[in-house]
């Protein structure tokens, strides 16, 4: 299959399952109500896969990587080429410090439910500036890349339009009026879930961490089940230290540096963290996170 790493057979399987579930829901609309939540999970997983694919291309053949990136765009909910300006050239450069378009502390350094829920809208707005600048620069300096960007944006919008037409043609036109229902819950809701949850992951992994530290700049979630389901996305410190390392090697890399990370930043469970931080801490403040080191808005020496 021309994979660069054998662990990516699971990557291909997960994306294949995402495609299959859309096909099943389009064929049998009665399955939407119980398959849509699974499609939402798989879309979020595809968002993580698109992040991994951006750092470490999945295939050894360039055209396969291009095509895979376009397919992931459909599930991720946004053109995957835009990981380059917002993530590679920005977030990894500044890592929640001034200059990072994805900073968690733009309007407040509080870590509560309201902030985490509104963060995707705020972060998305400021990332759009990095996207526009990158596209303008690419248009002037790299016409081939610019053409790829245009194609991917066209594919992104066109694929959702085509799927809307297909749902209407298969179901709505027959009189059972399920076309819009099928399209929204099997395609659009998963895509929205993917882009939104991926940005929330970024917030949770950096809020109240020490952006100025070599090892305490990120929060890690070490649950084996979480990292199985989300392709080792929980080992965030190791990823920032070695962005090009294949996702399958992140657990080992994390274990090597774990003793140097503040224990408060190594969480065993994402779900317990969310419950503790956003539902219990408002009533029991000691359960909530505290800023580690200097606040990101301050200089390292202040």
The DSSP line for 100-165 is -TT-S-SS----SHHHHHHHHHHHHHHHHHHHHHHHHHHHHH-HHHHHHHHHHHHHHHHHHHHHHH
Q: Where are the alpha helices (DSSP H) in 171-269?
A: 179-183, 189-206, 224-229, 236-241, 250-257
Q: Residue 198's closest CA among 127, 260, 298?
A: 127
CB 11 within 8 A of CB 58: yes
- Domain identity same for 18 and 155: yes
Q: Domain check: are 220 and 130 in the same one?
A: no
Specify if 75 maps to a domain.
yes
Asked if 161 and 240 sit in the same domain, the reply is no
Which of 189, 208, 227 marks a domain boundary? 208
Q: Are residues 19 and 66 in the same domain?
A: yes
Per residue in 126-169, pLDDT (tens digit) is: 999 999 999 999 999 999 999 999 999 999 999 999 999 999 99
* 88 and 155 share one domain: yes
How confident is the model at residue 177, as a pLDDT?
A: 76
In this structure, is residue 261 part of a structural domain? yes
Split into its structural domains, the chain has a count of: 2
pLDDT at 262 > cutoff 50:
yes
pLDDT in tens, 90-135: 999 999 999 999 999 999 999 999 999 999 999 999 999 999 999 9
Tens of pLDDT, residues 161-198: 999 999 999 987 656 678 999 999 999 999 999 999 99
* pLDDT tens-digit readout, 210-253: 999 999 999 999 999 999 999 999 999 999 999 999 999 999 99
pLDDT, one tens digit per residue, over 274-289 is 999 999 999 999 999 9
Residues 63 and 158 in one domain: yes
Which structural domain, as residue segments, surrounds residue 266? Answer: 214-286
Using CA atoms, how far apart are residues 171 and 158, in angstroms rounded to an integer?
20
Q: With beta carbons less than 8 A apart as the criterion, state whether 109 and 291 touch.
A: yes
pLDDT of 300 above 90: no
Is residue 280 in some structural domain? yes
Q: Are residues 175 and 123 in the same domain?
A: yes
Q: Is 299 a domain residue?
A: no
224 and 187 inside one domain: no
Same domain, 247 and 121: no
Last residue of a domain, one of 187, 208, 229: 208
As given in the structure block, the two tokens for residue 163 are 């799927």
Residue 294 lies in a domain: no
Answer for the pair 287, 281: CB distance below 8 angstroms, yes or no: yes
What average pLDDT does the structure give for the chain? 95
- Please indicate, yes or no, if residue 293 is contained in any of the structural domains: no
**Whether residue 227 sits in one domain with residue 197:** no
Shared domain for 94 and 135, answered yes or no, is yes
């Amino acid at each position: 299959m021309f994979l660069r790493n054998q662990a990516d057979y699971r990557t291909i399987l997960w994306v294949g399952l995402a495609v299959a579930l859309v096909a099943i829901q389009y064929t049998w609309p009665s399955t939407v109500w119980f398959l849509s939540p699974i499609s939402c999970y798989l879309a979020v997983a595809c968002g993580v896969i698109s992040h991994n694919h951006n750092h470490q291309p999945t295939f050894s053949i360039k055209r396969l990587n291009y095509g895979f990136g376009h397919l992931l765009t459909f599930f991720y909910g946004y053109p995957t080429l835009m990981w380059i300006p917002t993530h590679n050239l920005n977030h990894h450069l500044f890592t929640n410090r001034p200059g990072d378009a994805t900073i968690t502390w733009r309007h407040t350094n509080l870590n509560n439910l309201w902030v985490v829920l509104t963060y995707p809208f705020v972060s998305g707005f400021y990332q759009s500036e990095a996207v526009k600048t990158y596209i303008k620069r690419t248009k002037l300096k790299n016409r081939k890349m610019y053409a790829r960007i245009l194609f991917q944006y066209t594919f992104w919008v066109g694929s959702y339009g085509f799927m809307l037409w297909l749902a209407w043609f298969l179901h709505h036109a027959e009189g059972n009026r399920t076309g819009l229902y099928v399209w929204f819950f099997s395609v659009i809701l998963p895509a929205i879930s993917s882009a939104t949850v991926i940005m929330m992951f970024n917030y949770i992994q950096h809020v109240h961490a020490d952006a100025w530290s070599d090892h305490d700049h990120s929060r890690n979630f070490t649950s084996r089940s979480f990292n199985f389901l989300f392709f080792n996305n929980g080992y965030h410190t190791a990823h920032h230290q070695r962005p090009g390392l294949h996702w399958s090697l992140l657990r080992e890399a994390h274990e090597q540096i774990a003793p140097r990370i503040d224990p408060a930043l190594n969480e065993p469970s994402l779900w317990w963290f969310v419950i503790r931080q956003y539902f219990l801490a408002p009533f029991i403040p000691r359960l909530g996170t505290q800023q580690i080191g200097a606040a990101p808005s301050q200089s390292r020496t202040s």
